[in-house]
Structure formats: C-alpha cells, structure tokens
Amino acid sequence: MIAIYPGSFDPITLGHLDIIQRGSRLFDEVIVAVLRNPNKVPLFSVPQRLEQIRLATKHLSNVEVDSFDGLTVNYAQQRKAQVILRGLRAISDFEVELQMAHTNKTLSTQIETVFLATSNEYSFLSSSVVKEIARFGGSVDHLVPPLIALDIYKCYNHKYPIATPIATEAIPQITSTESPPERFPKQEV
C-alpha cells in the first residue's frame, strides 16, 4: 500500500519527520510530495526542499521524495497511491484537515485519508514557527534536522545574527589571529 504525504515542507521539521517515520512503518511505501504552491513565497526552492527531505529521510528505505502541482488526489492517482497521510497537531488542524479529507473523497472514492496524531513533543511545531524563530535570531536546532538548521541560518544570518544558539556548529569558529566579526554594524547618523 502506497501513501502520499503532501505538504510544502518549507522547511521540513522534526514533526514532519515523526509522521514520515511512523508512516513508513505502516505503509509499504511513503511518497513525501512537495507541493509547488504558486500562492506562497517559500524560503527554499522546490529542488532545495527535495534535497533536504532526501537527506533527512535517507535512513528510511521505503520513503521516496517527489514534487507535484495541482490537486493532491490527482497526484495520488498518478502514483497509484491508496492513502493520503496527514498529521494532526491540534483541534484547529482537525477542522481544516477533515474538510480537506471530505473534499478529496468527493474527487476520488478510491483514496482514503489517514490521520496520525503528532507526537506530544512536536504538537506546537510548524514550518512557520521555525521561520519566525530563525528570522529573529533564535536557535532552531531543536526543531529541525541539523543540516536543515544550517540552511536556515544561512538564509537569515546576514540580517539576523544568531543570538544564543544551542549548537555551536552553526557558528563559524574564530581563531585567535582573527578579530571577531561585528555583530551589530554601526549605523551612520
């Protein structure tokens, strides 16, 4: 049985990975499908997100990563998937997801939606939360895989220095012969 796990994954979080790993135990194959949404301005391009997800899921032999446009149901039919996999964090997610599941059922009675409740430790987590924290200089090391955290820091570091990172690997080390970089450049008056 093939399951599609659709989303924007901009960026992929530990909550997403939790659903992917658990889904990989339930289904023969899980296709993590990155939706190309023309209405959103993403932090990462689709090819970047595909590569990030591939790296984060390389230990899962039955997980494939792909991208698509249009309706999830049409993509699921093209891939011969029987299930759309979705994660639920809160009551507000349930309302939106249930409406989507009912709509998808009107488009194809052959495809079921399966909901997995997010693990407690990720119940607050979303890609938007990760971007908001990083945008204002906070550490996201505990919210996303390490390689994705580095990519996020590269996106924001030029404007918002990392104030108190948990992992020091994300910050270039300065040798004693170098002068420290100026954290807050002087403003001319």
User: Residue 71 belongs to a domain with what CATH number?
Assistant: 3.40.50.620
Q: Decide if 102 is catalytic.
A: no
Mean pLDDT of the chain: 85
Highest mean pLDDT among 147-151, 170-174, 183-187: 147-151
Give the domain-ending residue among 122, 153, 180: 122
What CA–CA distance (Å, rounded) separates 24 from 119? 15
**Shortest CA distance to 70 belongs to which of 38, 101, 99?**
38
Q: Based on the domain organization, do 72 and 7 belong to the same domain? A: yes
* 172 pLDDT above the threshold of 70: no
Predicted pLDDT at 93: 84
What CA–CA distance (Å, rounded) separates 167 from 123? 23
Average pLDDT of the residues in 87-93: 86
- Residue 132 belongs to what domain range? 127-167
Please tell me which residue in 40, 102, 142, 154 is annotated as part of the active site.
40
Average pLDDT of the residues in 81-98: 92
> Does a structural domain hold residue 145?
yes
Q: Based on the domain organization, do 141 and 85 belong to the same domain? A: no
Q: Decide if 49 is catalytic.
A: no
Q: Based on the domain organization, do 135 and 73 belong to the same domain? A: no
More confident residue, 63 or 189: 63
Burial class (CB in 10 A: 0-12, 13-18, 19+), 119: middle
* 25 pLDDT above the threshold of 50: yes
Average pLDDT of the residues in 3-21: 97
Q: Based on the domain organization, do 132 and 114 belong to the same domain? A: no
Q: Based on the domain organization, do 14 and 53 belong to the same domain? A: yes
Give the domain-ending residue among 66, 92, 122: 122
* 24 pLDDT above the threshold of 70: yes
Predicted pLDDT at 160: 41
Please tell me which residue in 16, 49, 86, 131 is annotated as part of the active site.
16
Please tell me which residue in 36, 89, 105, 135 is annotated as part of the active site.
89
Considering its fold, how many domains does the chain have in total?
2
Cβ proximity of 104 and 36 under 8 Å:
no
Please tell me which residue in 8, 24, 86, 127 is annotated as part of the active site.
127
Q: Decide if 89 is catalytic.
A: yes
Q: Based on the domain organization, do 107 and 134 belong to the same domain? A: no
Q: Based on the domain organization, do 23 and 56 belong to the same domain? A: yes
Q: Based on the domain organization, do 72 and 142 belong to the same domain? A: no
* 3 pLDDT above the threshold of 90: yes
